[in-house]
Structure 1
Amino acid sequence: MQIPLFDSRRRFLTHTMQGLGYAALGAMLAPDLVGGNSSALANSLPLGTLPRIGGIDGIPHFPPKAERVIYLHMVGGPSQMDLFDYKPVMNDWYDKDLPESIRNGQRLTTMTSGQTRFPIAPSKYKFAQHGESGMWVSELMPHTAKMVDKMAFIRSMYTEAINHEPAISFIQTGNQVTGRPCIGAWTSYGLGSLNSDLPTFAVLVAQPTNREQLQAISGRLWGSGYLPGKHAGVSFRSQGDPVLFIKDPPGVPRSIRRQTLDSISEMNQLQYQSIGDPETVTRIEQYEMAYRMQTSVPELVDLSSESQATFDLYGENAKDPGTFANSALLARRLSERGVRFVQIYHNNWDNHSNVAGRLPSQCKDVDQACAGLLQDLENRGLLESTLVIWGGEFGRTIYSQGKLSRENYGRDHHPRCFTMWMAGGGVKPGTVYGETDEFSYNITENPVHIRDLHATILHLMGIDHERFSYKHLGLDQRLTGVEPAAAIQALIA
């Protein structure tokens, strides 16, 4: 590599960094030297010792409790008091106004800010305690209820965002402003891949049975932001080719495509030697990954090898592409093949009205599949090393939006408290953390901010969030930002 006699400071620094790029190219072109992709191997080695491709030197900072993550995001904000946060006292408050001392001047959305009353809407669903933990669970989640002793429930989640777009961005990227790396991209960047033939970060968008009020779900939610582009999530589609352009073009044999990629790679390497743009390395890697995925992805999405007993675990829709049950089964297949982070989005949880007509359908979509996923992972010896996360971007209000009746009601957005659960991957099972007031409106014990959730997830993956950063715009950027955050030790086994 020849450096010009007169060179700018930026160009000089760029050239001196190229050694890292060559190392990345070497790892890409000779993956057998740096890691394997055998799922059998992945299940036989101690946590934190699996061969990996890429990642940051010195990470994990300490022995991890989880090697992989499956994040189940319920887009729209599930109603905590209709599912997990049991508030029987509210039955005596039916149609009474929410006291101002409870609302305490809270910011409202434009959908209820014009209401003259805020009538209390008790949950119309029955609750019961389950498992040794005695966790209260709604009748809408009968399969989940059987698994509570494997879960840790956080009843005291909160956020500052009150509208969907900034709230989803916040819980996925740690910032309400879009364009930042999401938690899946951060995990890919820090820990690297466990399989050279599949992406490190995969995304599935499950279609709900009821499509009454869908929220926008865009690729920027699983983008890499200022991290290198190779860490962005790869979206798997439910119709057509599972990944775009994975097939050879008509009339082009595989051998010709290999020659074409080799020629493009040579030109890109010359470009990198000349300019030193790290995105050139990303481009080369992505082309190579796409080529390898032509073999690995068809095998991945072919469910013919799965037993009927496995399909029965996930539910009647497990064989139907695009359903949540099918996506959950694919998430298990991705995880057991070494995909580091799998994200599933399930839409239509935005119950501003018609809770009675929509919430049962939403729960039926996900209830058995979530329980089945945990059982399937446990049966295969993967639950201990796989962290499963369930939740939305915020909660719902105890008061009704619009017309109220005993049979039906609606609920507005509520950022002050909501419920999430985690299981596997070093989570302390049978735990209930945090409490809310009798209105499920304010947190009374152990508040958990989104930054604390992110710090906890990273901790379970062996990463100290305060020591995990990326230089961008002259600053050491972190997923958890600069505000105080801490891993919740009470949730960790």
Structure 2
Amino acid sequence: MAGLHGLECAGSRRWLLQHAAAGFGWLAFRGLNMRSVAADQPADGAAAGPLAPRQPHFAARAKRVIFLFMQGGPSHVDTFDWKPELQKRGGQTGGSGGRAGKLLAPQFEFQRHGDSGVWISSLFPELAKHADRLCLLNGMHTSNAAHPQATIALHTGSVNFVRPSLGAWVTYGLGTMNQDLPGFVTISPVPLGGAQNYGSSFLPASFQGTRVQPEEGGIADIRNGRLSPSVQRRQIDLIQDLNRGLLARHAGHPELEGLIQANELAWRMQTSVPEVLDLSQETAETQQRYGLQDAATEGFGRQCLMARRLAESGVRFIQVSRGGWDQHRDLKASLQRNCTAIDRPIAALLSDLEERGLLQDTLVLWGGEFGRSPQDQGSAGDGRRHNNTGYSMWMAGGGVRGGMQYGTTDDLGEKSETGRLSTHDLHATILHLLGMDHTRLTYRYAGRDFRLTDVYGEVAEEIFG
């Protein structure tokens, strides 16, 4: 009631009229924001920043997530979902309903790998060495076959409205483990979906993803080279003191609170982030393992190595993205290029995490917004159409069972049949691995409780190790 007390003390009719409308808005915002404020308090009741580590709902299998997002719809029937029937019927007409068309046989050979014998195509010779660590999710499906909608749904759980991203929800729920770094970092985000893919929407701004562009030098350096660090720190302190004074007069103002938090984190990041992203600190052997000396793998290898360094530095959610999987034509050549670019770096990332004792509590997720059809593109020839009714993703580490195929599509790879996982089911499962009940991870906004999974989501407990 500090705002009302200020009104009483002002003794000014004009002051009252000028501030009433905005003041009551601030009080409303404060009420809506109370759940977030309460979540920011540690168990002992002492003040803590919004990114302070928080306890999960129950014992977590994973502490962090690395999401390898392949935008465009990778072809599951050419990568991780072996279909002998499609191989046999290539060139014939097949499929259901309006999707029926000329079937295109798998373009690459499949073999069993590891002690588990999971099927992986020849596109991934290095990743196949980790077959016993992979949990193939072959029963994925999503509600939309258009790239923009399916991409945003995968990242936010919603197509129709702007919602917080998966990474923002995770950081809101758990905080981060290094207060000098963001809780959520997105490396080379794809343009499709834009900032929604890593935004915080109505969650406080502290939980949105920090964008890193390796080709542009990482993050922007806001430091003034003409001033010493101590002088610049004094400037920041002055600005922060002024902002806090304003906040004291207008308690509960979420935008101002977010600005104060962002200023402080931005300052700390100027020294911590460049050091974490400095890959020259890695040995020549490590750089070679990630493919940094090869033009075909250097770009994605750099992103994966950054992801590992961020993970071991305490960042909660790291996303690495690569576009170019929308292969309506030139499927075989394009898919070969894409998979060559990511195969070695991903294998190196899994090995590196394992050797450092991080894989057991780091959930690695790979996949796109949907898959591709068993039918060819028609007049385009060597290509496949979009397919949202059945496709593959995979997980590794973070408490999931390795060497496992969970779910199936039909004989042609067109529709998921068993072990079906929707986008909401995927999100619920990820949150559960992180120790969070997706039905309890909520935020009150505009008079109702919101959650990542809306009113849906079933946890795939069968994949837990």
2:173 to 190, 200, 211: 190
| 1:154 counterpart = 2:126 | no
Secondary structure of the residue aligned to 1:466 is coil
| Structure-to-structure mapping, 1:125-136, within 5 angstroms | 125-136=108-119
User: In 2, distance between residues paired with 1:321 and 1:133?
Assistant: 28
| 1:98 counterpart = 2:94 | yes
1:234 to 193, 210, 235: 210
Shift of 1:419: 0.4
**In 2 relative to 1, CA 336–134 (structure 1 residues): closer, same or farther, beyond 3 Å?**
same
User: In 1, distance between residues paired with 2:118 and 2:191?
Assistant: 30
1:431 to 404, 408, 430: 404
Alignment check: 8 A CA contact 2:63 2:362 kept: yes
| Structure-to-structure mapping, 1:209-228, within 5 angstroms | 216=192, 218-228=194-204
Alignment deviations for residues 333-388 of structure 1 (CA, whole Å, 9 cap, x no partner): 00000000000110101101001220000001111111110110000010111110
| Structure-to-structure mapping, 1:9-158, within 5 angstroms | 11-12=26-27, 53-54=51-52, 59-99=55-95, 103-105=96-98, 118-158=101-141
**1:251 is matched with which residue?**
226
**1:410 is matched with which residue?**
383
Alignment check: 8 A CA contact 1:169 1:176 kept: yes
2:273 to 278, 297, 321: 297
- Mean Cα displacement is larger for which, 155-164 or 81-90? 81-90
Instruction: Number of aligned residue pairs: give it.
Output: 446
Alignment deviations for residues 135-178 of structure 1 (CA, whole Å, 9 cap, x no partner): 11111111111101011110000001111100000011001135
Of all paired residues, the percent bearing the same amino acid is 36
User: In 1, distance between residues paired with 2:294 and 2:399?
Assistant: 27
Alignment check: 8 A CA contact 1:169 1:177 kept: no
2:256 to 276, 280, 288: 280
Secondary structure of the residue aligned to 2:431 is helix
Letter in 2 for 1:248: R
**In 2 relative to 1, CA 147–19 (structure 1 residues): closer, same or farther, beyond 3 Å?**
closer
User: In 1, distance between residues paired with 2:137 and 2:333?
Assistant: 27
Alignment deviations for residues 49-69 of structure 1 (CA, whole Å, 9 cap, x no partner): xxx94366xx41101011110
1:341 to 305, 317, 326: 317
**In 2 relative to 1, CA 462–97 (structure 1 residues): closer, same or farther, beyond 3 Å?**
same
Unpaired segments ≥5 residues, structure 1: 36-51, 107-116, 207-213
**In 2 relative to 1, CA 479–352 (structure 1 residues): closer, same or farther, beyond 3 Å?**
same
**1:447 is matched with which residue?**
420
Secondary structure of the residue aligned to 1:72 is strand
User: In 2, distance between residues paired with 1:319 and 1:33?
Assistant: 49
Alignment check: 8 A CA contact 1:200 1:340 kept: yes
1:420 to 383, 393, 398: 393
**1:205 is matched with which residue?**
188
Alignment check: 8 A CA contact 1:317 1:323 kept: no
**In 2 relative to 1, CA 15–370 (structure 1 residues): closer, same or farther, beyond 3 Å?**
closer
Letter in 2 for 1:253: S
Letter in 1 for 2:345: A
User: In 2, distance between residues paired with 1:25 and 1:196?
Assistant: 13
**2:237 is matched with which residue?**
262
**2:12 is matched with which residue?**
none
Shift of 1:255: 2.5
User: In 1, distance between residues paired with 2:330 and 2:296?
Assistant: 27
Letter in 2 for 1:104: G
Secondary structure of the residue aligned to 1:147 is helix
| Structure-to-structure mapping, 1:346-365, within 5 angstroms | 346-365=322-341
Letter in 1 for 2:414: Y
Shift of 1:18: 9.3
Letter in 2 for 1:466: T
Letter in 1 for 2:307: A
Alignment check: 8 A CA contact 2:292 2:302 kept: no
**In 2 relative to 1, CA 22–377 (structure 1 residues): closer, same or farther, beyond 3 Å?**
closer
User: In 2, distance between residues paired with 1:248 and 1:26?
Assistant: 31
Alignment check: 8 A CA contact 1:397 1:441 kept: yes
Alignment check: 8 A CA contact 1:336 1:382 kept: yes
User: In 2, distance between residues paired with 1:336 and 1:387?
Assistant: 13
Alignment deviations for residues 78-124 of structure 1 (CA, whole Å, 9 cap, x no partner): 0000001111222332222224xxx2346xxxxxxxxxx72100012
Q: Indicate the RMSD between aligned Cα atoms, in angstroms.
A: 2.8
Shift of 1:321: 10
**In 2 relative to 1, CA 240–440 (structure 1 residues): closer, same or farther, beyond 3 Å?**
closer
TM-score w.r.t. length of structure 1: 0.84
**1:43 is matched with which residue?**
none
Letter in 2 for 1:427: V
Shift of 1:215: 6.4
User: In 1, distance between residues paired with 2:73 and 2:320?
Assistant: 15
**In 2 relative to 1, CA 160–222 (structure 1 residues): closer, same or farther, beyond 3 Å?**
same
- Mean Cα displacement is larger for which, 155-164 or 308-317? 308-317
Alignment check: 8 A CA contact 1:63 1:462 kept: yes
Secondary structure of the residue aligned to 1:193 is coil
